[in-house]
């Protein structure tokens, strides 16, 4: 799955990218260090990423990976949570943590002045986070409330239902990346402690540093703080069963009379981030529904039809194959669904035009640097590149990969990756199913 | 009392912020038609951000036309001689750029970010947007539907409803009380001609700022700006100022929103002064941070750590120009904790007015505020945003600099005076998002 | 005794129901310039009331100009060719008449009452007011101070504050929310020219009704009206309609006003529909009467008689054209009783949605409403006022006649349906006036050592 990555880690090859000051180094214990020098403001951000995310949450214990990352800096073998907070808040250091299906991370952002303090705290936390009970309770309550609040948004309802119908109950993608409301109350500090022990070690982590640093100097500091972090066994990645997707159009309507608008999601199985036609499929879906205005769906549903504020479609970009989804929120779901289905079919049958392809290429290559002009953007792109094995040269390689895609590549992706005849549609809103204009549909009961 | 640590901090701020350095990289002038032009040079990436902001937003709208600035924002992407009909976004995409527009209470802003070799397109597009947009019914009618859908989108989100109702209750007269998107019936009633008239009134060089930030040379930029914007005619700008309109609040107010929700939410607002009260305005920022910025803040400690009545607390000053609200946003553990949370908030607020805040606590808070400012400037696009917003709100981007200095001068006495004068029970508005009542009838 | 009176009244109403209609006494026409003229003949006394009302008030005002209709009303007494400067009232008095002007959310009205032998003066004066008012700074500036003082008067009156804050909280978007006198900063910012422009826009025959009610002969009145009003020019009238603007209310709202007061006060308002929803609109009138009109009303019995929690209670529908509020106003015995009062009100309101009102109780209410209608028609001046009011708020004075009929059609089912649909806890706004905790100086000083560049 990650041959390139394994190779890099094994050889400890040092990649120096010629024009962008991005460097990838490996410590002896396997920890990969990515450095992006940027001296525009006197600040440094550091993110420690574990290559394990919600996909690896133990069964019935979703939220473990997320809570582990979020609590990493709340107490270590050497300092209480209170002491850490006292230090970082007094110095104006900001913390952040997050997780996805394929990785989880914890980060600090500091004025350059306090780089050592921040790096020391992060190293200590990586190695000896203690996950005290009281902090665990606090963070779990916060996460649980947020998860519950999510269910107030109709899009959560519709997405969750879609995922469950598409992937089946057991698939990791039916879990909330941050933890399900059903699982979170049952988690204990021991769950995060064992997740930390199994998934946060140098062979399964990488460190990204962005900001006003010099690589050589920085590596010295990193080595002294992380160098003796002991390596540990490789993480076993259990195989996830595939899922069946029956042919034909299936739909479910969840009627909520109090709503003033219907939320629609429709789609079918998509692809994995490792698939070779990933970028072709992305560009194709961009032409189809990459923006609520400048795309075929936007043109038809919003600009011409005035049916919705937002309409778009995309392919999930994750390690395991995900979904292709199109979404819209509208008072006239019947017409919007009709138009979206029409456009998907048209794209499937004849692909994009030469001009659309050109626009998509220009957009992806031209706007890519804008995405990493900020510190948070640099962290995001480097996390993605490293987690999926695209390498530190990705920031510069990407435009080349995109530039080589042709209209035929996109049309091929449309032919193989869009399935207008096999579609799952979920609608949450005030209308009953007979008013959704879906006559060719097998209805799934609520 | 102002020990070495404080002195070191001040020094740090000056170095770290380097705002003087940023000021040196700024060229600031005005065209004859009234357009304010600000050029900020930052060559760290071969990218140029172009912002054009207008001083118009929901604050400027009469009743019956609420949200018309936002509707106008939608329409100015539609049609002009500079891009094919509905082709604005495509054109920008074809050049590998990004663009967007946004409307707030106080301003409507547009920006493009392009690679440095092709950014002139942004000037051409924004000049056209400023004077040559074409309003046709065939564009307008469906776009009004789009905006109605946008309104529905927010109407179905319980927390959005809570914010809308909260502001509409906390303010009686100041137009900050109206939602930026407008009241739904107003949206239905927009006419093409009213939107066009709104556009002709406010989209006007004399009511706009143009900020160009990135890898540019000011002398070259000046020539290009003159080429694209020099010939536009400036018009008189209507004067709109409701700074003092809001009557004194005489008692606490409360608004509930009952909607299908699984997690209640609590908003508590206290009146706070506007920017013209230079001391009070900045004291509010410091006070807010003492109360609720970070885990060491007083309310976080009491509500989240000690009593566990809430899972999160945020406190921040929301006044941008006129007097506004210092907001507390609290996520209660459950509906039943709300009365106890309110009691704790009342106690902590009373304590602020009675006991001076310790110097160490203030220092932490100020350090946090200063660090935030540094982090907020990490690319040219964000600096451009800050410059434009200061222009829109204060008429002078240099306020940015002064504001930080004023924040640094806020000490124990100012915080106590602020708490005593403003954080009073009768200046409070409470908003609660709760599940629907199941009252037996 | 009381019972006998009701029975009598009852039979009177049903026997002579038709005679309550004022239509047979009315002459109704429109001038070429758009002025609506209604002549109502009532020769029971040798008196003539002349009303001129304009469809302009707080409802029509943009933010930043709130109260400008009221300011215009003040100015319209100042100078015109028909009277000496500041002598309008003197002139009226010298002719033994009486007159006044008033501004509300929906209209601005003027009337003069004279003996039947000299009432033509009223036409001359009102025609002059309609087109010939002169606005000078020397009148305007001191008058603005007068209006400011009028505002202060209200601002210092605790109950005015309570109503102001109550309306501003109960309505989010509908301009009914603004006080008729305006927000104080707007008053400060009026300019002479803005007021004059307001006058020129709205004081316009096409936006007005002239009602002449009393001891007159229509054929004689018509030439007089023509003489004074024909030559005025009608102009287009701006449309102001916010009937549907108010978003649904999703939860209870509360406002407190803390002021120096010896008697706390409680207002409870529930959303009610506007006139376009004819059934529920009239059901609201009946429901309000059941709840809180008279000593036999439910809330009076429970709050005043049985529990002694309150000293008085009353309830009425407060919606003119647009959707409004059914208001329950209570004077609590003391501040501590308020929670118990709120609970009792909630109980009674819920009961209204659950149990049909007994026929006998409904009969009492209908009789009371009918009696009010009879009393209203007792006096030509009052009928003139109502004709003008119905015209300005509904566009048709005949609504006045229809109202009673529609109210009579409301039965137990309509009341119950209304209560169930509208009198819901999440549609409620509660306002309380309470004694101030501490009497701090009224305004926080705004330091203005530095202003924006």
Q: Say yes or no for a CB contact (<8 Å) between B371 and A111.
A: yes
Asked if C420 and B441 come within 8 Å (Cβ–Cβ), the reply is: yes
Give me the CATH topology for the region B17-229. Answer: Cytochrome Bc1 Complex; Chain A, domain 1 (3.30.830)
Neighbour count for residue C320 (Cβ, 10 Å): 20
In tens, the pLDDT along C271-307 reads: 999 988 889 999 999 999 999 998 889 999 999 889 9
10 Å CB burial of residue A444 (0-12, 13-18, 19+) is: middle
CB B265 within 8 A of CB B162: yes
Distance of CA A115 to the CA centre of its chain: 28
Does A249-443 carry CATH code 3.40.50.2000? Answer: no
Mean pLDDT rounded to a whole number for chain B: 90
Sign of the torsion formed by the C-alpha atoms of A90, A93, A94 and A96? negative
For C135-162, write each residue's pLDDT tens digit: 999 999 988 988 888 888 788 788 889 9
Helix, coil or strand: residue C113: strand
> What pLDDT was estimated at residue B21?
57
For chain A, helix (H) and strand (E) counts, in that order, are 15, 13
Distance CA A37, CA B434 (A): 48
Which residues on chain A are in Cβ contact (under 8 Å) with B74?
A: none
Q: Which CATH number fits domain B253-357+411-434: 3.40.630.40, 3.30.110.70, 3.30.830.10, 3.40.47.10?
A: 3.30.830.10
pLDDT tens for B228-243 read 999 999 999 999 999 9
Taking Cα atoms as reference points, which of B333, B251, B317 lies closest to residue B284?
B317
pLDDT tens string A369-394: 777 878 888 999 999 999 999 988 89
Residue A194 reports pLDDT greater than 90? yes
C276 and C174 in a common domain = no
Instruction: Please name the residue that has the structure tokens 């999440």.
Output: C426
Query: Which CATH number does A3-226 carry?
Result: 3.30.830.10
Q: What are phi and psi of C276, to 5 degrees?
A: -65, -20
Nearest CB partner across the interface for B149, out of A113, A151, A331: A331
Rounded distance, CA C238 to CA C259, Å?
A: 40
CB contact under 8 A, B186 and C451: no
Whether B21 contacts chain C with CB within 8 A: no
* Nearest-by-Cβ selection for B280 from C425, C436, C447: C447
Residue ranges of chain B that CATH labels 3.30.830.10: 17-229, 253-357+411-434
Q: How do residues C337-365 score in pLDDT, each as one tens digit?
A: 999 999 999 999 999 999 999 998 998 88
pLDDT at C449 over 90: no
- Nearest CA of chain C to the CA of B112: how many Å? 28
A-proximal residues of B, 257-276, CB under 8 Å: 259-263, 265
8 A C-beta contact, residue B361 and residue B412: no
CB of C185 within 8 Å of a chain B CB? The answer is yes
Res C377: pLDDT:
78
Dig out the tokens for C420 from the structure: 């169930």
Q: Does A22 touch chain B (CB under 8 A)?
A: no
CB contact (8 A) between residue A329 and residue B153: yes
In terms of DSSP bridges, do strands A262-269 and A94-99 run parallel, antiparallel, or are they unpaired?
unpaired
Chain A residues in contact with B158 by the CB 8 A cut-off are 152
Total residues found in chain C within this entry? 453
Q: In terms of DSSP H, where are the helices of B230-326? A: 278-292, 298-299
DSSP A282: H
The domain total for chain C is: 2
Average of pLDDT values for A44-49?
A: 96
Count of other CB atoms within 10 angstroms of residue B336: 10
B86: contact with A, CB 8 A cutoff: yes
Shortest CA distance to A10 belongs to which of A196, A226, A231?
A231
Give the pLDDT confidence of C77-134 residue by residue, as tens digits: 999 999 998 889 889 888 888 889 999 999 999 999 998 888 999 999 999 999 999 9
Q: Read off the pLDDT band of B9 (50, 70, 90).
A: very low
Query: Is residue C172 situated within a structural domain?
Result: yes
Min CA distance, B299 vs chain C (Å)? 25
Note whether A3-226 and A249-443 share their fold: yes
Give the strand pairing for A43-50 and A205-211: antiparallel
Residue of B nearest to C155 (CA): B247
Q: Do C225 and C275 share a structural domain?
A: no
pLDDT at position C426 is 93
- pLDDT, tens digit (0-9, with 9 covering 90-100), for A221-232: 999 999 999 988
Residues 321 through 350 of chain C touching chain B, CB cutoff 8 Å: 346, 350
Tell me: pLDDT of C8 over 80. Answer: no
Percentage of residues in chain C with pLDDT exceeding 70?
A: 92
Contact B53, B386 (CB under 8 A): no
pLDDT tens string A137-180: 989 988 988 888 788 778 888 999 999 999 988 899 999 999 99
Residues in CB range of A157: below 8 A, 6 or more apart? A151, A254, A263, A428
Is the confidence at residue C9, as pLDDT, over 80? no
pLDDT at C324 > cutoff 70: yes
In A, minimum Cα distance to B144 occurs at A306
User: At a CB cut-off of 8 Å and minimum separation 6, what does B138 contact?
Assistant: none
Burial class (CB in 10 A: 0-12, 13-18, 19+), C376: middle
Phi, psi angles (nearest 5°) of residue C409: -80, -5
Q: Tokens 């051409």 sit at which residue?
A: B124
**In this complex, how many residue pairs, one in chain B and one in chain C, have their CB atoms less than 8 Å apart?**
171
Which sign, positive or negative, has the C-alpha torsion B149, B155, B157, B162?
positive
Over residues A51-67, the pLDDT tens digits come to: 999 999 998 999 999 99
Backbone angles phi, psi at C203, to 5 degrees: -85, 100
What's the residue count for chain A? 446
Query: To the nearest whole number, what is the mean pLDDT of chain A?
Result: 90
Report CB contact under 8 Å: B89, A294: yes
Residue C251 contacts B where some CB pair is shorter than 8 Å? yes
Kindly tell me the sign of the dihedral angle through the C-alpha atoms of A303, A305, A309, A314.
Answer: negative
Tokens of B27: 């060229």
C263 and C208 co-located in one domain: no
Neighbours of C86 (CB within 10 A): 11
Q: Which of B97, B142, B263 to mutate to test the interface with A (most CBs of A within 10 A)?
A: B263
DSSP letter for C438, please.
Answer: S
Q: How confident is the model at residue A1 (pLDDT cuts 50, 70, 90)?
A: very low
The yes-or-no verdict on residue A9 having pLDDT over 70 is no
Tokens standing for residue B42: 């930052």
- Same domain for C61 and C192? yes
Q: What is the mean pLDDT of residues B74-101?
A: 92
pLDDT at B19 over 90: no
pLDDT attached to residue B397: 85
Rounded to an integer, what distance in angstroms lies between the CA atom of residue B137 and that of residue B131? 19
- Residue extents of the structural domains in chain A: 3-226, 249-443
List, in sequence order, the alpha helices (H) in C355-423.
359-376, 380-394, 399-408, 412-422
Q: Could you tell me where the DSSP H helices lie in C235-358? A: 278-292, 298-299, 338-354
Domain match, C50 and C149 both? yes
- Whether residue A26 is predicted with pLDDT greater than 80 in this model: the reply is yes
Burial class (CB within 10 angstroms; exposed 0-12, middle 13-18, buried 19+) of C38: buried
Of A97, A129, A106, nearest to A197 by C-alpha is A129
Q: Do C448 and B277 touch (CB under 8 A)?
A: yes
Together in a domain, C213 and C303: no
Assigned token pair, C335: 């501040």
What whole-number distance in Å separates Cα of residue C400 and Cα of residue B296?
66
pLDDT digits (tens, 9 = 90+) for A207-255: 999 999 999 999 999 999 999 999 887 888 877 777 789 999 999 999 9
Please tell me the least confidently modeled range out of A241-245, B46-50, B133-137.
Answer: A241-245
Beta bridge partners of A250: A424, A442
* Residue A364, token pair as written in the block: 């992806």
Report the CATH number at residue C274. 3.30.830.10
Is C185 within 8 Å of B183 when comparing Cβ atoms?
A: no
Closest chain C residue to B239, measured at CA: C64
Whole domain around residue C221: which residue ranges?
A: 24-229
Cβ-Cβ contacts under 8 Å for A12 (sequence gap 6 or more): A25, A26, A28
B77 touches B89 (CB < 8 A): yes
Nearest to B256 among C242, C251, C448 (CB): C251
Distance, CA of C183 to CA of B18 (rounded, Å): 45
| Residue B384 and residue B51 in contact, taking contact as beta carbons nearer than 8 Å | yes
- Name the residue among C175, C188, C442 with its Cβ closest to that of B63: C175
Q: Are C168 and C269 in contact (CB under 8 A)?
A: no
Retrieve residue C147's tokens.
Answer: 């209006």
> Partners for B (CB, 8 Å, 3+ pairs)?
A, C
Of the candidates C168, C173, C451, the beta carbon closest to that of B172 is on C168
| pLDDT at residue C387 tops 80 | yes
pLDDT at site C439:
52
Distance of CA C72 to the CA centre of its chain: 18
Q: Give the pLDDT of residue A14.
A: 34
DSSP string, A176-207: -TT--TTTGGG--HHHHHHHHHHH-SGGGEEE
- Report whether pLDDT(A15) > 60: no
CB contact under 8 A, B156 and A259: yes
For helices C192-202 and C68-75, angle between their N-to-C axes, nearest 10 degrees: 90
Q: Which residue of B has its CA nearest to A305?
A: B142
Write the CB contacts of A237 (distance below 8 Å, at least 6 apart in sequence): A1, A56
């Amino acid at each position: 799955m990650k041959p390139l990555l394994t190779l890099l880690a094994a050889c400890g090859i040092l990649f120096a990218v010629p024009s962008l000051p991005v460097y990838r180094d490996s410590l002896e214990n396997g920890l990969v260090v990515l450095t992006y020098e940027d001296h525009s403001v006197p600040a440094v951000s550091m993110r420690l990423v574990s290559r394990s995310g919600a996909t690896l949450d133990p069964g019935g214990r979703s939220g473990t990976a997320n809570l582990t990352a979020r609590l990493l800096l709340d107490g270590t073998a050497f300092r209480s949570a209170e002491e850490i907070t006292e230090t970082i808040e007094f110095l104006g250091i900001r913390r952040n943590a997050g997780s996805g299906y394929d990785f989880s991370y914890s980060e600090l952002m500091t004025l350059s002045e306090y780089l050592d303090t921040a790096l020391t705290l992060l190293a200590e936390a990586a190695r000896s986070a203690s996950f005290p009970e009281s902090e665990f309770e606090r963070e779990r309550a916060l996460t649980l409330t947020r998860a519950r609040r999510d269910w107030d948004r109709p899009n959560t309802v519709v997405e969750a239902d879609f995922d469950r119908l598409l992937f089946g109950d057991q698939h990791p993608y039916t879990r909330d990346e941050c933890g399900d409301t059903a699982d979170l109350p049952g988690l204990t500090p021991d769950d995060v402690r064992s997740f930390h022990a199994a998934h946060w070690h140098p062979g399964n982590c990488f460190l990204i540093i962005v900001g006003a640093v010099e690589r050589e100097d920085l590596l010295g500091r990193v080595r002294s703080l992380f160098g003796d972090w002991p390596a540990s066994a490789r993480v076993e990645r259990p195989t996830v069963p595939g899922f069946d997707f029956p042919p034909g159009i299936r739909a479910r309507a969840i009627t909520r009379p109090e709503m003033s608008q219907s939320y629609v999601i429709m789609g079918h199985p998509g692809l994995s981030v490792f698939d070779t036609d990933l970028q072709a499929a992305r560009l194709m879906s961009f032409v189809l529904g990459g923006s609520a205005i400048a795309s075929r769906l936007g043109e038809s549903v919003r600009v011409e039809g005035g049916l919705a504020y937002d309409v778009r479609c995309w392919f999930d970009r994750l390690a395991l194959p995900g979904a292709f989804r199109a979404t819209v929120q509208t008072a006239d779901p019947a017409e919007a669904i009709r138009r979206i289905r029409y456009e998907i079919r048209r794209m499937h049958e004849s692909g994009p035009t030469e001009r659309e392809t050109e626009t998509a290429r220009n957009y992806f290559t031209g706007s890519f640097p804008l995405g990493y002009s900020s510190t948070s953007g640099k962290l995001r792109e480097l996390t993605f590149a490293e987690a999926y094995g695209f390498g530190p040269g990705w920031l510069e390689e990407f435009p080349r990969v995109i530039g080589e895609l042709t209209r035929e590549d996109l049309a091929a992706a449309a032919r193989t990756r869009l399935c207008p005849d096999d579609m799952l549609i979920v609608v949450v809103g005030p209308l009953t199913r007979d008013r959704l204009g879906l006559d060719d549909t097998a209805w799934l009961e609520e | 009392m102002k020990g070495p640590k404080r002195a070191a901090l001040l020094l740090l701020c000056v170095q770290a912020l380097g705002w003087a350095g940023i000021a040196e990289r700024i060229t600031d002038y005005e065209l004859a038609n009234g357009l304010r032009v600000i050029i900020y040079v930052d060559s760290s990436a071969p990218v140029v951000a172009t912002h054009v902001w207008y001083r118009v937003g929901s604050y400027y709208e009469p009743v019956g036309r609420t949200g018309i600035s936002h509707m106008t924002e939608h329409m100015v992407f539609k049609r002009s001689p500079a891009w094919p009909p509905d082709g604005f976004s495509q054109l920008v995409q074809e050049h590998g750029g990004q663009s967007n527009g946004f409307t707030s209470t106080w301003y409507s802003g547009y920006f493009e970010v392009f690679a440095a070799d092709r950014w002139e397109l942004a000037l051409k597009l924004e000049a056209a947007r400023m004077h040559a947009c074409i309003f046709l019914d065939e564009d307008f009618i469906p776009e009004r539907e789009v905006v109605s859908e946008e309104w529905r989108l927010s109407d179905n989100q319980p927390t959005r409803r809570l914010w809308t109702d909260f502001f509409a209750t906390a303010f009686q007269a100041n137009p900050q009380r109206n939602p930026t998107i407008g009241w739904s019936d107003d949206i239905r009633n927009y006419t093409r001609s009213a939107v066009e008239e709104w556009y002709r009134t406010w989209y006007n060089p004399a009511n706009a700022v143009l900020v160009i930030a990135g890898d540019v040379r000011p002398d070259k930029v000046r020539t290009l700006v003159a080429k694209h914007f020099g010939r536009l005619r400036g018009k008189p700008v209507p004067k709109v100022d409701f700074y003092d309109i809001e009557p004194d609040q005489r008692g606490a107010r409360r608004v509930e929103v009952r909607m299908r929700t699984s997690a209640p939410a609590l908003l508590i607002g206290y009146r706070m002064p506007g920017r013209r009260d230079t001391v009070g305005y900045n004291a509010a920022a410091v006070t807010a941070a003492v109360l609720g910025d970070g885990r060491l803040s007083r309310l976080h400690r009491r509500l989240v750590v000690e009593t566990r009545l809430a899972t999160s607390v945020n406190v921040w000053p929301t006044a941008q120009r006129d007097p506004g609200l210092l907001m507390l946003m609290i996520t209660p553990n459950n509906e039943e904790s709300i009365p106890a949370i309110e009691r704790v908030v009342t106690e902590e607020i009373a304590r602020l007015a009675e006991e001076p805040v310790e110097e160490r606590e203030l220092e932490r808070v100020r350090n946090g505020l200063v660090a935030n400012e540094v982090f907020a400037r990490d690319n040219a696009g964000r600096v451009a945003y800050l410059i434009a917003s200061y222009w829109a709100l204060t008429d002078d981007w240099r306020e940015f600099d002064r504001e930080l200095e004023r924040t640094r001068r806020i000490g124990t006495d100012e915080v106590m005076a602020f708490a005593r004068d403003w954080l009073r029970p009768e200046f409070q508005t409470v908003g609660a998002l709760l599940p629907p009542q199941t009252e037996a009838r | 005794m009381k019972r006998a009176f009701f029975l009598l009244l009852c039979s009177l109403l049903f026997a002579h129901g038709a005679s309550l209609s004022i239509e047979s006494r009315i002459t109704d026409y429109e001038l070429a310039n758009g002025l609506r003229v209604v002549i109502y003949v009532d020769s029971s006394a040798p008196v003539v009331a002349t009303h001129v009302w304009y469809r302009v008030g707080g409802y029509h005002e943009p933010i930043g100009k709130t109260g400008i209709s009221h300011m215009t009303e003040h100015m319209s007494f100042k100078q015109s060719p028909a009277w000496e400067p500041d002598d309008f009232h003197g002139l009226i008095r010298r002719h033994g008449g009486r007159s006044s002007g008033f501004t509300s959310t929906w209209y601005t009205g003027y009337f003069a009452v004279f003996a039947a032998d000299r009432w033509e003066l009223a036409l001359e004066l009102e025609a002059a007011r309609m087109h010939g008012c002169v606005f000078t700074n020397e009148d305007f500036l001191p008058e603005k101070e007068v209006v400011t003082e009028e505002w202060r008067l209200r601002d210092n009156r605790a109950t005015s504050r309570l109503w102001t804050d109550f309306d501003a909280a109960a309505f989010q978007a509908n301009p009914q929310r603004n006080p008729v006198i305006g927000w104080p900063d707007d008053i400060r910012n009026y300019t002479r020219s803005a007021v004059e422009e307001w006058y020129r826009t709205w004081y316009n025959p096409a936006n007005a009704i002239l009602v002449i009610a009393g001891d007159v002969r229509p054929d004689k009145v018509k030439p007089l009206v023509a003489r004074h009003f024909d030559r005025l020019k009608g102009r287009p009238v701006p449309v102001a309609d916010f009937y549907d603007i108010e978003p649904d209310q999703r939860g209870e709202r509360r406002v407190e006003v803390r002021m120096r007061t010896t008697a706390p006060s409680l207002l409870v308002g529930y959303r009610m529909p506007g006139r376009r929803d004819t059934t529920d609109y009239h059901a609201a009138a009946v429901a309000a009467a059941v709840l809180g009109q008279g000593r036999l009303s439910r809330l009076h019995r429970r709050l005043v008689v049985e529990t002694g929690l309150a000293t008085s209670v009353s309830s009425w529908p407060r919606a003119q054209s647009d959707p409004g509020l059914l208001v329950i106003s209570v004077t609590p015995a003391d501040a501590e009783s308020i929670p118990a009062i709120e609970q009792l009100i909630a109980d009674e309101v819920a009961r209204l949605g659950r149990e049909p009102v007994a026929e006998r109780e409904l009969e009492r209410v209908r009789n009371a409403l009918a009696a009010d209608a009879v009393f209203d028609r007792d006096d030509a001046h009052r009928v003139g006022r109502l004709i003008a009011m119905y015209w300005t708020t509904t566009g048709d004075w005949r609504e006045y006649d229809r109202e009673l009929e529609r109210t009579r059609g409301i039965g137990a089912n309509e009341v119950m349906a209304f209560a169930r649909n509208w009198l819901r806890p999440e549609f409620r706004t509660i306002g309380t006036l309470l004694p101030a905790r501490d009497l701090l100086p009224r305004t926080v000083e705004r330091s203005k050592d530095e202003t924006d560049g």
